[in-house]
Amino acid sequence: MSGLDRRGLIAGAGAALGGLWLAGCDRLNRSPTAQALIGRGEALTYKAQRALLGGGQLAKEFAPKDVSPAFKANGTMRPRTPEYEALLASQFADWRLVVDGLVKTPLSLSLADLHAEPARSQITRHDCVEGWSCIGQWRGARLGPLLEKAGLADSARYIVFHCADRLGGEGPRGLYYESLDLADAFHPQTLLAYEMNGAPLSVPHGAPLRLRVERQLGYKHAKYVMRIEAVESFAHIAGGKGGFWEDRGYEWYAGI
């Protein structure tokens, strides 16, 4: 059975569990539906949304002694596209993170630029929907300040992460991607991580940059992030469900 088929079997169970999780009140007020209703109020800027919906709630953080001796890698271990291979060959010297879409000032950032941005380190547990967990230390640029630097347009409601790998093969739906609402995008533990366990992020774990969104399941943590796009809706992207696995039946809000 291929990896994709195995994931297909899990999708149903995941969706059922997702429904249960959404039943909790704190989950409900962050659900896409609640967001959509609240988001319609014209007077609400994204900052007000964040204050209302961001919740201060932090994911549990661990001590250095808790770090897993071996952190499993999953999904794509190395993007096989010519573009990524070329970037890797020059150790990402020519790599740039593009921040665009509904922003006032589009950005193009080198790894050195990202290292100069407000950073955070955290030791957290990564939970994959396949049923395994690992604890790792992450360091990276906080997504919130970066988005503030680009300046979100009032119409921006979601942040989309476009990745380098084609887990789904050729064609417009093959690229890995993910998306977050603004509450999770501005959460203090949401990072664009360039370091794992004190070393530069390795290729299997998403070099040179991957998302950490600690209150959600593993598949939301996009690896090999190339471009961050602010959008009003993700309906026009790939399968329209807001992420690679979401297009294949997984929940968009994968809260844990």
Ligand X SMILES: Nc1nc2c(c(=O)[nH]1)N[C@H]1C(S)=C(S)[C@@H](COP(=O)(O)O)O[C@H]1N2
Residues that bind Mo ion (CB under 5 A): 128, 218-219
Report the nearest approach of Mo ion to the CB of residue 132 (Å). Answer: 8
The residue with its CB nearest to ligand X is 75
Selection from 64, 74, 222 nearest residue 135 by Cα:
64
Asked if 146 interacts with ligand X (CB under 6 A), we say no
Which residue spans within the chain are E strands per DSSP? Answer: 97-101, 107-109, 119-127, 133-142, 158-163, 177-181, 191-196, 199-200, 210-212, 225-231
Binding mask 153-182 for ligand X (x = CB under 6 A): ----------x-x-x--------x------
Interface residue with ligand X, options 62, 68, 72, 100 (CB under 6 A): 72
Determine the size of the site formed for ligand X (CB under 6 A): 19
Q: Indicate the residue among 224 and 253 with the shorter CB distance to ligand X.
A: 224
Report the nearest approach of ligand X to the CB of residue 41 (Å). Answer: 33
Q: Indicate the residue among 54 and 218 with the shorter CB distance to ligand X.
A: 218
Q: How far is CA 251 from CA 18, 60, 217, in A?
A: 6, 22, 10
Report the nearest approach of Mo ion to the CB of residue 155 (Å). Answer: 31
Host H or E run for residue 63: none
Q: Indicate the residue among 138 and 158 with the shorter CB distance to ligand X.
A: 138
Rounded distance, CA 139 to CA 190, Å? Answer: 10
Asked if 251 interacts with ligand X (CB under 6 A), we say no
Angle at 127 between CA 31 and CA 21, to 5 degrees: 30
Tokens 């088929």 — which residue?
5
Asked if 218 interacts with ligand X (CB under 6 A), we say yes
Rounded distance, CA 159 to CA 181, Å? Answer: 6
Q: Indicate the residue among 156 and 209 with the shorter CB distance to ligand X.
A: 209
Interface residue with ligand X, options 17, 44, 73, 119 (CB under 6 A): 73
What φ, ψ does residue 228 adopt, rounded to 5°? Answer: -115, 125
Rounded distance, CA 205 to CA 191, Å? Answer: 14
Q: Which stretch binds ligand X (CB under 6 A): 10-18, 66-74, 102-110, 150-158?
A: 66-74
**In 201-246, alpha helices (H):** none
List residues binding ligand X (CB under 6 A): 72-76, 128, 163, 165, 167, 176, 204-206, 218-219, 221-224
